Amino acid sequence: MSVKDLVKMSNKYGANPEFVLAGGGNTSFKTAKELYIKGSGTTLATITQDGFVKIDRKKLSKMWSTEYPQDEALREARVLEDLMASRFPESSTKRPSVETALHDLFVQKYVLHVHPAAVNGITCSPDSEKTVKAIFGKKAAWIKATKPGYILARDTKRVIEDYRAVNSREPDVLFIENHGIFFAADTCAELDVLVASVMDKIAKKLKKKPDFSAVDFDAQTAAQTAPLIREALSSDGENAVVNFTCNKETARLASSYEQFKSVELPFTPDHMVYCRHTPLYVKAQATSQALFKAVSDGIEKYRKSFSCKPKIIFVEGLGMFCAGKTKKEADIARDVFLDEIKISVYALNFGGGQFMSAEDIDFIRNWEVESYRQKIALSADAGKRLDGKISIVTGAAQGFGKGIAEDMIKQGAYVAIADLNYDGAKATADGFCEVYGKGAAFAVCVNAGDEESVKAMLQSTVLEYGGLDIFVNNAGIVKAGTLDEMQTGAFELVTKVNYTAYFLGAKYASKIMKIQHECAPGKMFDIIQINSKSGLEGSNKNFAYAGSKFGGIGLTQSFALELAPYNIKVNSVCPGNFLDGPLWCDPERGLFVQYLKAGKVKGAKTVEDVKRFYESKVPLNRGCLPEDVSRAIFYIVEQKYETGQALPVTGGQVMLN
């Protein structure tokens, strides 16, 4: 028995979404003198030994003989001071869980506190105490809902002492009304058996279960609605992130206000912390303008009532939109509110749902501990060049596109990795999320030259993030050859991917941007085509590519004129040759191989001869790199007085007149 076993136990239950959401839950291990408890701001699924706070149990026990002020704020502040003072010196930089004193009350060595929705189907029902006694008899203790923190610990002390006196044994299962469950055992193996036994007994009582299976929904209307909600929530230069969820349960709740009322208040403190005091329900409207007004009016009314903006918005007939200042915050709100929905359904097995009391809701609303927990859980970097910008980069599974996407993510953007090679896009997006955080990127399959596929790409992105600020049209193809060699099919393919696809991307990206402009006339948006130096000058025996790129600059200038009234800037970046990228270096289809075979470089006998020839044409003596293009993109986005331009990034190889 050791802290190492505590880590394993914590990771096991923390990784199970049926037990733990939003990094919540608590675990502890104790010896006669020490208590090791999860620190605030840590996540059970990934916690290590360093994530636990070492507490002196003798110092902690002095809390029970201390007279604390009657004033709630003063009392909780004093309790926090005493809790922090009970830490051993090696844990002096960590903040222990607010439930530390409660964990210490159990005599068993290991304690697990979690909030399974199935359990809370009982604890959040009107007759929860009777239900617990009916299912578990004398094997479980029960605590009536009360204020968390010191008051909960004090009530738990009384309940455990009463249980011990009546039953001549220690409680190993404790249910808390509207809060969750505690398990206690002397070994992790015993605890696992206990948890499995309790959950199995509850499962046998669940006749009604939530159904989160997919349903058909109006994706086009949802994708037009998300930007309205996003702009209504964005303020002070900050971009909100909004995701959309529609399944059988959320569709049912969105179908009418009567259905929605079953989740209109929080069941547990977690629902309130991560989803606000209540979700917002918005009636369907005949026009987008009317819907934006209804959403804006609802948000303003909400703000006046609760001094904050809602995170959960149901739109009648559509589904559930979840919002946050960051993607992480929006996704946590979604996951936690889906838990609220689960509880509302599970509670039907036990007489229906019972929300937290108005008194407890008001306490949580002003409790410093929950404000701290939310701040830690949802903290994010700020001050980056593309903070919160929702973006699409096509052709981003590899090459220039992948490098551009990564550089944009480093600067705070959320990026849809769009590519015909979905497996490659998924691997790229997953890799970015692993390095830069969950939600930083997501993969979407797109045939950039197919109109329906492009429409679906835009819808998927908007339903994932809530809107679109930057569209980078990067997908491209090269087919080199002489006039005699070039086949019509190859020529038309190059035109489709390099020229027609740009038209389709700009067409559907601008539709989303126009919606946002209508809601937020002062904001600016960007459509950026990754063109080429071959769009600035002809390319020998590469006319299909050069012609498509020349045409692309014509589109850029024309789109810029048309979209300027909507504050949509349209520009092209014209890179030099990415000589180290797969487009050039692929041993079978790369341009070095193609140009060697086409005889484009006179006297070249090897691929290396071709590469040296192209390097020698650049005054700065190297090929273009993705970071060179990314810097140009950042400039274009930040520059508020530039549109319709073709910006060379060629190392001086091609200079504008």
Task: Please count the residues of the chain.
Answer: 657
Helix (H) or strand (E) holding 399: helix 399-410
- Is the separation of the CB atoms in 173 and 135 below 8 Å? no
Measured at the CA of 217, the angle between CA 211 and CA 223, to 5 degrees, comes to 125
Tokens encoding 360 = 């407890």
- Is the separation of the CB atoms in 86 and 64 below 8 Å? no
Q: How far apart are CA 70 and CA 80, in angstroms?
A: 15
CA distances from 271 to 23, 117, 333, 343, 374 (A): 13, 12, 8, 11, 12
Question: Which residue do the tokens 């903040």 mark?
Answer: 95
Torsion sign over Cα 119, 120, 122, 128? positive
From 329, 310, 324, select the one nearest 376 (Cα to Cα). 329
Q: Which is the catalytic residue, given 163, 545, 595, 614? A: 545
- 414 belongs to the catalytic site: no
Dihedral of the alpha carbons of 458, 463, 468, 470, in degrees to the nearest 10: -70
From 192, 16, 43, 25, select the one nearest 113 (Cα to Cα). 25
Q: In what order do the strands lie in the sheet with 241-245?
A: 241-245, 319-324, 312-315, 280-282
- Is the separation of the CB atoms in 560 and 644 below 8 Å? yes
CA distances from 113 to 29, 108, 173, 174, 599 (A): 12, 13, 10, 9, 72
Q: How far apart are CA 397 and CA 475, in angstroms?
A: 10
Q: How far apart are CA 297 and CA 229, in angstroms?
A: 11
The catalytic residue positions are 545
